[in-house]
Amino acid sequence: MASQGMVSLCVMTPRVPLKNPKKRLCHHRVLCSKLSQWEPSTLTQSSTEEAGGLVLEKTKNVFESIVSESEEEENVVSTQLFKWPIWILGPSVLLTTGMAPTLWLPLSSVYIGSKVVSVLSLIGLDCIFNLGATLFLLMADSCARAKDTSQPCESQPPFSYKFWNVFALLTGFLVPMILLLGSKTGLLGSLQPEVPFLSVAVLLFPYFILLAVQTLTEILTWSWQSPVWLVTPVVYEAYRVLQLMRGLKLSAEVNAPVWVVHMIRGLVSWWVLIVGMCNS
């Protein structure tokens, strides 16, 4: 019966002559491609083990994917719960540090004593607003970032936006500077009488500082590709309108000439126009 399970393919090796002719042996080499029916197949066992390993690996990968998806969902939920208070805290900080002192603080408490003290007090109010605006922009940036932190956030403003924004900043800086220098040097004879330096500092020095801070913030948001580049000019330009309105109230305290009052009114109209164009 054992011979029935063998393969018919057998190769006979030639007889090897020995020194003793009486003791001749025939060495046969049998090559079989099929084993007997009672001998286990190693190929089948290996394939079964490999299949079992693949099943275990697939099961493990599915389990890991389910665990990773559940972890991602938990992270998203925790991130959303963390962002909800920021949506309330950010605008509250901005209004508290910016709008409240400017709208409800009486100017008589700011304009006390010499003009130098008044300038420092106004700059201090603007510094408080700058701190609040910085905190607000940082909170808005963290909320506007993508949920998947592994992907880089690339939010680049278009060239037309950059061009008009820079044009608005340069116009708001150069026009009052040219008028003031023209009145000092006598190039613009119609701009008389001349305004003292301290009076100009009370009216416009905080305005120039805020322009510089906004320009620096805009450059940083563009270079960092922060998604808050669209909110930044609205925050600073809205406060700038209030700042210039404060300057109009202080113009009577410093006895500013009429052309200075008209210049400040022109700046208010310019920045109101720019704020309207940004929101449209």
pLDDT at residue 280, rounded to an integer: 66
54: in domain: no
| 177 neighbors 121 (Cβ within 8 angstroms) | no
Give the rounded distance of the alpha carbon of 186 from its chain centre.
Answer: 48
115, two tokens? 């003009």
3-state helix, strand, coil in the chain (%, to 5): 70, 0, 30
141: in domain: yes
**b/e sequence 47-65, b meaning 16+ C-beta within 10 Å:** eeeeeeeeeeeeeeeeeee
- Per-position pLDDT tens, the chain of length 280: 444 444 444 444 445 454 444 444 444 444 444 444 444 444 444 444 454 554 445 444 544 555 455 555 555 445 555 566 666 777 777 878 777 777 777 666 666 667 888 888 888 888 989 998 998 898 888 877 755 555 555 678 888 889 999 999 999 999 999 988 888 877 776 777 888 888 888 899 999 999 999 999 999 999 888 888 889 999 999 999 989 998 898 888 888 889 999 999 999 999 999 988 876 6
**What is the rounded distance in angstroms from the CA atom of residue 42 to the CA atom of residue 49?**
10
157: in domain: yes
- Residue range(s) defining the domain that contains residue 170: 86-279
182: in domain: yes
189: in domain: yes
167, two tokens? 């044009």
| 104 neighbors 199 (Cβ within 8 angstroms) | no
140: in domain: yes
pLDDT at residue 144, rounded to an integer: 76
pLDDT at residue 22, rounded to an integer: 45
pLDDT at residue 163, rounded to an integer: 92
Q: C-alpha distances in angstroms, 13 versus 26, 28, 182?
A: 8, 6, 118
**Total structural domains within the chain:** 1
Residue 16 has, within 13 A of its CA and on its CB side, a CA count of: 7
**What is the rounded distance in angstroms from the CA atom of residue 42 to the CA atom of residue 66?**
36
Closest alpha carbon to 250 in 237, 264, 235: 264
**What is the rounded distance in angstroms from the CA atom of residue 167 to the CA atom of residue 263?**
19
Which amino acid does the sequence have at 26? C
4: in domain: no
54: helix, coil or strand?
Answer: helix
32: in domain: no
